[in-house]
Structure formats: structure tokens, C-alpha cells
Structure 1
Amino acid sequence: MSVFEIQARESFGFSAENPTGTHAGGTRGRDCEKLRPCIQIAPGETVTLCDTDGPGMITHMWFTGYIGHSFVLRVYWEGQEAPSVEAPISAFFGCAYDENFKDRDGKYPVLSAAPILMAPGRGYNCYWEMPFRRHCRVTMENRGDKEQTLYYMIEGWKGEISPAAGYFHAFYRQEHPVQKGRAYTVVDGLEGKGQFVGLCFAAGMNGHNTCWVEGEPKMYIDGGEYPTINYTGTEDYFCGSYGFGNDILQKQYQTFSGLYAGLYAITGNDSSEMYNGQQRFLLYRFHIQDPVYFSRSFRMTMDNLGWTGPRYDDYTSVAYWYLDRPAALPAELPADGELIMQ
């Protein structure tokens, strides 16, 4: 659909000023008067941000305020009891190391991709298209021990949905640290027909670096014993090469942020000694131009490997995919105190 094509659709927008998302349901304030720009979420409280009938589609979500890992974002499709999207909000938006507000250059990390944008000041934006047929509900839970502030906007439209449209899913996983000698599981247990569309990824170095990107990402499709899609290295999967520049010429990692892939931020000690810094890397790879299709099942793993052999770094990821039906996620979240992302 081109933006200039007129559609039989009705726009909606859920926010603190219009919590029902209804037509003409926004502020009753006068010009230049703010009445309710944000909400407060108490410890242990879950707030419904969007609750609407379909058919329709979410096209944009924006959040700021407190946006650390104690806030958990969930999305439920078609009245299901289990969410199909569940992740700490920071990791969902590619910022798993949410306590680090500046990168190695002293600036806000900026992720500038097609489906996700993290702007300076921690403005989180999601442009993944999320169709639904009967019902959609979006919630935010505060799993921390302090009341926190949330600013939000969830936009979309009501209208006809293609019969071929799948349901958006997102799944959080971490290993702090990865078990040495065993591949990290990005996602497993996906059943049905759909397509894998990418992940946000964070890697925290433990010990001497030894070129941590030697590990191979592997995708197992429709029950295959061996991977169908097998990359040659971690930086290759994220569309880089030669240790993101650390192997050659400048001898240091260089960040980049493209429409579909990037190593957009490095935090922590960026030692000038080759491969010897205790950095924290924030990366993403979105399969928008190259979705990975499966008919029955899908799983993905990623080795944690350096020049000297298997490693034991801290890996954190959020995987994204579309499925032909709403489905519960393959595992539960770790406890809030286990989400150590510094």
C-alpha cells in the first residue's frame, strides 16, 4: 500500500491524554494546557495501555519516562490469556544495558533502523506492523520497587486485514554468562507457519576479548537436524566484517546503524589494546528484506566463540517473528533481580 492511496480506515491513538483511544477522546484542556501527559505505575502494578477491538493494526508505539528493565511490555492478541509479546521494555527496543546512558564517546546511544528507533534522551519508537482481527491489548508491568513515570503513545488504525496477515511475536532471553562450550539459544520451540524477522542483541565481555565474534549463528527450519541458514561469524550475521573493523587498519571497533542491521553502540571500557577491552556491545539485525520462512517450526542459536575457543560472555536478546496464529511464548521471563544489564 502506498501512502498516497486513500483507504477505508479509522485511526486511533492511545495515550495518557486519551487512555481509551476513542474518537475525540483526547484532552479537555485549553490551548497550551497539559492535563495528563503521563501516568504513574506503582511497584507490582500492571497498567493496560491499549485495549481495542479489531480488525486493525498497531503501526507505532512510543515510550519514554522510566524505560528500564523493570518495566515489562506485553501484547495479547485475540483475547488470549498468554501474551505473544513479552520483554523488558529496554531490551525490546534494543537497549538491554539500560543503566548506561552514554556510549564510549560520551553520547546517548542512538539506534536508527526501519522498525525501531531509539532517539537521544531515550525516546523509544517501534514501527513493527502488528495486525489483529478481533482484539488487541497492550500492558506495562512495573516489577521494580519504586513508583515510576511512563509517557506513551500507541497508534494504529481500524480496517480490513489481509487473510494472509500473521501475528507479531517477541521473546526475551538471556544467559549471564553463556555456558562455556554450548551455543546460546536465541529462540526455540516455535511451532506453526510464519517468518522470523530478526532480533536485538547485547553482548557483555567477560575476561579477555579474544575476538568474541567468531561464533556462528545457525537457523534450524522445519525440524532439520542441521542448520539450513548458517552464518560464518557473529559480526557477519550483523552485516559487518573483520571484527567490525577491529581486525584491520584502525584496530578498533566502529559503530554503525543502518535500516536493517547495526552495531549501534559500545559502552564500558574501550581499551586501546587490541581485543582487551571489557566492552558492552548493542546490535540488531532485522530480516525485513530477507524474512526467514518456516512451515512447521523454527529455532536459532548463536555460538559464543573467540580465537582461543568457547567463551562465557553475557548474552541478551529479543527475537521477533510473525506466526499464523497467536501463540504463547516458549519460556517465562527471569525475575526482575536477575536482569543484570550493567
Structure 2
Amino acid sequence: MEVLIKMYWDDSPTPNVLAPIGDFFCLGHFIAANFQSLPFTASVKPSEERKFGGATASRCYLPMPFKKHARIEIENQNDEAYIQYFYIDYELCSEPLIDDTMYFHAHWRRENSTNGWAPPNMQTNSLVTQVKNLDRKNNYVILETEG
């Protein structure tokens, strides 16, 4: 499934959040699984098919402040029909947000394909723990952040 979640805060012309919906909720490749962390949880009924959607309950508890309005879009870019139930909890503040309040941003990116640094004869995951890349050359960056 190629289903995106887009979130816009206030008057942003471009999405502040843009990611495949499964990846946003920590469910890569639309494969649902049960897990729990502080900002995200996901649960699947054992009797249901383990695809994202349907019987998957995914939750995000990250604060996402905005001053005037927010818009959340789910965009199906696939030829298959996609049905989504959702519930959004929000809280109105009695005081306006301060001017330098930071907005939540998340953008999904990938590089397809990557060269990586593993030796060409490496065929199994068990060998990955035996090979070290101490000079960091050709590492694939999965997170760059500030703040």
C-alpha cells in the first residue's frame, strides 16, 4: 500500500509531516505488529490479517502544537481501495502559544538502492555483528537532528 499521512500546522503551504502511514506509526512495510513505546503503540488482533489498517490500532502520543489550525490528510496513492478509521484527540489551551513554540516535523526519505559498507561476500545477518566499520565511511545516515 502506498498511503501517506500529511500534517499541516497553521498556514504552512507544504506538509510539516510527510511519511507513509505505516512508517509514521513505526510499522515499516505496512506489516503490523504489537509493540509499545513512550510516543507510539500498535496492536493487532491475533485473528486478523497482519497488514496495516483493518484490525491495527496505532497511536501517537507526541505533542504537536499549532497556533491557529491543523490539517491532517491521508492520501491513498495506490490503485487498491484503502479504508481508515481514525480518532484524533486534541486539547485547546486557554493561553496562546508563545512565539518561539517549535512545531513538530517528520519527513520520510529513502535512498534506493544503497551501496553500504558490508563486504560483497556477506550473505547473512549473523555476519553483520562480526564486521566493524570503525571509520564510518559509507555509513547510511538514518537520523540527522538538531534541538
State yes or no: 1:73 paired with 2:2.
Answer: no
- The residue number in structure 2 matching 1:115 is 39
Contact 1:168 1:322 in 2 (8 A): no
- The residue number in structure 1 matching 2:84 is 150
Contact 1:72 1:142 in 2 (8 A): yes
Contact 1:169 1:321 in 2 (8 A): no
In structure 2, give the amino acid aligned to 1:152.
Answer: F
State yes or no: 1:208 paired with 2:121.
Answer: no
In structure 2, give the amino acid aligned to 1:172.
Answer: W
- The residue number in structure 2 matching 1:138 is 72
Give the drift of 1:78.
1.5
- The residue number in structure 1 matching 2:48 is none
More helix by share: 2
Distance 1:168 1:207 in 2: 39
Count residues with an aligned counterpart.
Answer: 128
Q: Tell me, what secondary structure is at the counterpart of 2:23? A: helix
Distance 1:207 1:116 in 2: 33
Give the drift of 1:97.
2.5
Q: Tell me, what secondary structure is at the counterpart of 1:91? A: helix
More strand by share: 1
Distance 1:95 1:146 in 2: 19
Give the drift of 1:165.
2.4
Structure 1 stretches of 4+ with a deviation exceeding 3 A read 212-216, 319-323
Give the drift of 1:136.
1.1
- TM-score for both structures, normalised by structure 2: 0.71
State yes or no: 1:167 paired with 2:103.
Answer: yes
Give the drift of 1:322.
8.3
Give the drift of 1:214.
4.5
- Within a 5 Å distance, the mapping from 1:302-341 to structure 2 comes to 303=139
Compared CA separation, residues 95 and 172, structure 1 to 2 (3 A): same
Contact 1:72 1:89 in 2 (8 A): yes
Distance 1:141 1:93 in 2: 15
Compared CA separation, residues 136 and 320, structure 1 to 2 (3 A): farther
Compared CA separation, residues 320 and 80, structure 1 to 2 (3 A): farther
- TM-score for both structures, normalised by structure 1: 0.33
- Within a 5 Å distance, the mapping from 1:1-342 to structure 2 comes to 69-98=1-30, 100-101=31-32, 109-121=33-45, 122-159=56-93, 160-163=95-98, 164-181=100-117, 207-209=123-125, 210-211=127-128, 214=132, 303=139
Compared CA separation, residues 214 and 113, structure 1 to 2 (3 A): farther
Q: After superposition, what is the alpha-carbon deviation per residue over 1:191-242, rounded to whole angstroms, capped at 9, x for unaligned?
A: xxxxxxxxxxxxxxx83222258457x9xxxxxxxxxxxxxxxxxxxxxxxx
Contact 2:34 2:43 in 1 (8 A): yes
Compared CA separation, residues 179 and 167, structure 1 to 2 (3 A): same
Q: After superposition, what is the alpha-carbon deviation per residue over 1:6-26, rounded to whole angstroms, capped at 9, x for unaligned?
A: xxxxxxxxxxxxxxxxxxxxx
Distance 1:88 1:139 in 2: 12
Contact 1:75 1:86 in 2 (8 A): yes
Unaligned ranges ≥5, structure 2? 46-55
Distance 2:70 2:146 in 1: 15
Unaligned ranges ≥5, structure 1? 1-68, 102-108, 182-205, 219-301, 305-314, 324-342
RMSD: 3.1
Q: Which is greater in Rg?
A: 1
Q: After superposition, what is the alpha-carbon deviation per residue over 1:76-115, rounded to whole angstroms, capped at 9, x for unaligned?
A: 11121101100000011111132x45xxxxxxx2221011
Give the drift of 1:73.
0.3
Compared CA separation, residues 165 and 154, structure 1 to 2 (3 A): same
